[in-house]
Amino acid sequence: MILKEHKKHTAIKRPAFGNFHRNEWAVVGGQCSVIKQLAGEVISALTPRYKCAYADTSHNDNNSELPGRLANGAVLEYSDEINYRQLNYTQEFNPFQLRKLFSGVDMVLVNGNHQQAKAQVIIIDSNKKASLQKRVGQLTNVQLLLLADGEADVFDFVKEALPHWQDLAIYRVDETERIVAFFEKQMAKTKPVLNGLVLAGGKSERMGFDKGAVEWHGKEQRYYMADLLRQFCDGVFISCRSDQQQQIDPAYSSLPDTFTGLGPFGAILSAFREDPDAAWLVIACDLPLIDDATLQYLVNNRNTATIATAFQSSFNDFPEPLITIWEPKSYPVLLSFLAQGYSCPRKVLINSDVTILNAPNQHALTNVNTPEEFDKIKQTLQQKITAE
């Protein structure tokens, strides 16, 4: 008898994280002062477009004494300074805690003389040759080579460790503009793809019938919305309950809820569980007046530096969570709200770093939840057809 291998845990897709983040580079092989200066120059140049972070290890031997209330036994101290906020911990951090802390940024630069990252930038400096040679096993994904002052060639052991080293760009360490351009190019490559998610899993209790099946535009609304999203998204899925999946036309990709009983909040989480590295343009199926121009405006003004890009409602001035682009960095934020007992996507938007837009056509955001609203929209669409 052949025993099947027992799987202890459910296999789910994991985000493409390194030690700190999806986008992280360890600068290794140079003097620490040079690495800090280089990181500062790159961060200053990229800050207008991206949220940057830096990771290092302190060299100050005088920091053996714990600061503030940590000296009294506290494990965590929070201080609200004038221009920044500060957290001091006593606990050790493993990659799980670090990824959580860095989840809100776009990229992380790391002093590779002390910390590791999944991509590396090597500085060729004879003063740090022995130190770099000790770390040759950490050179797993070198993307750029930099020559320090007085250096003319790459070390032989680096060439041996990197069979394709000649394919890499080689700059001098003081060529700041070229180095910044390298990181800008890398960040452009890592922009998350945009998937579409049509929310069609609601029970439509107030309406009395399935809103996703209404034929406002000559076909069921869930399919009309999916077709509308295809011109803006890499992949489009119809969100549904598991008991609805057999009802979805097989010509359309469906994505059943795996976070059940949470309404739209669960549908968004289910989408990230399916693809945690994609951004999701989430749209409710009960927006019969939505048009290409409104979606194009949303996509054109997408801000990947924030966790989401949403329209502001003209009804209550709150963000509209169900016509929103949710970035991958919103996934841990959504989960943290759920852990605190909240399952309202609007509450997440209100209390997070998001980009809020004014819709070019506020009527396009009109939704339908009741028979009375249904009749009004029906009249509006009929008048529009007549006018055409």
What is the structure's pLDDT at 2? 57
- Residues 141-145 have a mean pLDDT of 98
Q: Is 61 exposed, middle or buried (0-12, 13-18, 19+ CB in 10 A)?
A: exposed
- Asked if 212 and 228 sit in the same domain, the reply is yes
- 99-113, 175-189, 215-229, range with the lowest pLDDT: 215-229
Whether 3 is covered by a domain: the verdict is no
- Asked if 255 and 223 sit in the same domain, the reply is yes
- Asked if 250 and 168 sit in the same domain, the reply is no
What is the structure's pLDDT at 286? 84
pLDDT higher than 70, residue 374: no
Which of 161, 189, 217 is the endpoint of a domain? 189
What is the structure's pLDDT at 202? 60
Whether 30 is covered by a domain: the verdict is yes
Query: Could you list the residue range(s) of the whole structural domain that residue 157 is in?
Result: 24-57+99-189
Q: Please name the helix (run of DSSP H) or strand (run of DSSP E) that holds residue 332, with its range, or none.
A: helix 330-339
Whether 6 is covered by a domain: the verdict is no
- Asked if 184 and 201 sit in the same domain, the reply is no
As a whole number of angstroms, the distance between CA 4 and CA 344 comes to 41
Strand ranges (E), 229-272: 236-240, 253-256
Whether 88 is covered by a domain: the verdict is no
Q: What tokens does 109 get? A: 């630069």
- Asked if 329 and 288 sit in the same domain, the reply is yes
- Asked if 217 and 155 sit in the same domain, the reply is no
Inter-CA distances, 317 with 185, 348, 372, Å = 37, 15, 23
What is the structure's pLDDT at 187? 97
pLDDT higher than 60, residue 345: yes
As a whole number of angstroms, the distance between CA 327 and CA 106 comes to 11
- Asked if 185 and 212 sit in the same domain, the reply is no
Q: For residue 205, what pLDDT band results from cuts at 50, 70 and 90?
A: very low
CATH number of the domain encompassing residue 380: 3.90.550.10
- Asked if 344 and 256 sit in the same domain, the reply is yes
What is the structure's pLDDT at 375? 62
- Asked if 177 and 117 sit in the same domain, the reply is yes
Q: What tokens does 136 get? A: 């040759």
Distance of CA 193 to the CA centre of its chain: 10
pTM of the model: 0.90
- Asked if 289 and 371 sit in the same domain, the reply is yes
As a whole number of angstroms, the distance between CA 308 and CA 194 comes to 12
CB of 31 within 8 A of CB of 127? yes
Which of 189, 211, 245 is the endpoint of a domain? 189
Residue holding tokens 């605190």? 340
Whether 146 is covered by a domain: the verdict is yes
What is the structure's pLDDT at 217? 66
β pairing state of 253-256 and 236-240: parallel
Q: Please name the helix (run of DSSP H) or strand (run of DSSP E) that holds residue 53, with its range, or none.
A: strand 52-55
Whether 337 is covered by a domain: the verdict is yes
pLDDT higher than 80, residue 387: no
pLDDT higher than 80, residue 183: yes
SS3 state at 191? coil
CB of 240 within 8 A of CB of 234? no
Which of 131, 159, 189 is the endpoint of a domain? 189
Strand-pairing partners, residue 78, are 87
- Residues 238-258 have a mean pLDDT of 92
CB of 196 within 8 A of CB of 281? yes
What is the structure's pLDDT at 207? 42
Number of independent structural domains in the chain:
2
Whether 168 is covered by a domain: the verdict is yes
pLDDT higher than 80, residue 315: no
Percent of the chain with pLDDT over 70: 87
Indicate the average pLDDT of the chain.
Answer: 90
- Asked if 215 and 350 sit in the same domain, the reply is yes
More confident residue, 132 or 11: 132
Q: What tokens does 47 get? A: 């800050």
CATH number of the domain encompassing residue 165: 3.40.50.300
- Asked if 177 and 244 sit in the same domain, the reply is no
Whether 64 is covered by a domain: the verdict is no
Q: For residue 257, what pLDDT band results from cuts at 50, 70 and 90?
A: very high
Closest alpha carbon to 123 in 107, 112, 137:
112
What is the structure's pLDDT at 73? 94
